[in-house]
Structure 1
Amino acid sequence: MDILKENERLDDLHRNGYSIIQDPQKFCFGIDAVLLSDFAKAKKDDIVFDIGTGTGIIPILMCAKTNAKKYFAIDIQEESVDMAKRSVKFNKLTDKIEIFHLDVKNVFEKFKKNSINVVTSNPPYMNMGGGLVNGYDAKAIARHEIFCNLDDIVKATSLLLKPNGKFYMVHRPNRLCDIICTLRSYKLEPKTIRFVQPYKDKEPNMVLIESVKNGNAFLKILPNLIVYNDDKQYSDEINKIYYN
């Protein structure tokens, strides 16, 4: 297929006939991105902005699930942006999704403050002291706070969002104190949290967070989402998220 380059593959997303281009030798999206795309909400005529989009998985999935007017997405890795743009073109979504090769710290070179309704991000989880970095390859950049950190993402989000705009993020539970403190320091009030457990008898290994710009203090904790049943098959809720 002409749209694919060496080592790339085209994966079916089981949504609206959409597919995504990925290179397994670099980085492929995980369940965290899929769960975030389901957790995030966008209304008709909303403008959605995805920070650290990778190969564009979140805007493509959200485009299949919501009626938002427009999706913008940025990533610092040029190869990922190239794949994301080709996926958008392959899915005939160029009128709905625009991908930019852009550092989040320079986002206001192209975008206006207070112009976005919804921001999403599946950011690097590990701070530079939080895990061994094996070179600055694509996987390391996606997983570690090498070129941007939590503060960079939350600060940009707060400035991008309109008043009462919403920010949806997936992260690791062990960073929850850092996350809430950082959100509040930029006037983003946590409103909904949902923990994700691999199995019902295992502790959570992901957390989904919704926050609102200038929102009032009131936090709702949703029931935990269980990924696998005891038989190691996806739970009914996970199957619904992936395939319905």
Structure 2
Amino acid sequence: MTGSAEGIELLIRAARPTNAYEETMQRLLQSVRLGMIGPGERLPAERDLATMLKVSRDTVREALATLAEAGYVVSRRGRYGGTFVVEQIPPDATFGSASTAPAAGEVEDVTTLRRVLEVGAAREAAGRELSAEDRAALAHALEECSASEAAAYRRLDSRLHLLIAELSGSASLVPLVANLRTRVNALLEEIPVLQPNIVHSNDQHRAIVAAILAGRPESAAEAMLEHVEGSSALLRGFLSRQ
């Protein structure tokens, strides 16, 4: 459908250092939530979406499967089949109560703080000479987070990020990151826990930890920035009301 294709293309933004899956999720979610692809309308075919969004068909397929799991789209087979927006958008995306909606600009404010604090923490941690005990603790925190059930994931995710802040060598940084993680988790509680997102998050965690343990500050910072921007892309997609 022409309107659907135009809706997707309108939301293509300048490339950010983020994961292709998460960026695709953001664009598709915003297209649905802003009404550029209306309830009951069919999305462009996977190959067309891949071309428009400049990602692989596998990435598009994974993003669409996640959206279907979250209740935003449904797949239909047959001559007139395809992927369609559901008639009723899930209530978690509409914030039926104003008291539960994040304050305007909260996602962007949190993202800016994460760029400053968490990206900086990863860079500093990678630039230090870590003890054997520190290295073992970091590897263990990564393992626990990667192996956790969905219900415990955000707690163990926060623990890993706090440990990275601690390994930066700045005692003052840890409470700042702890307060920030509280705000991050409050935002994450407003969106579904999606298994593909956890998989991507774990991949990003491994890249961050590997760079820290290898003593590569800039690589650690780049990996953390990708992680921060990936999380923010999903939050913008689900929570943006603009």
Tell me the TM-score normalized by structure 2.
Answer: 0.26
Higher helix share: 2
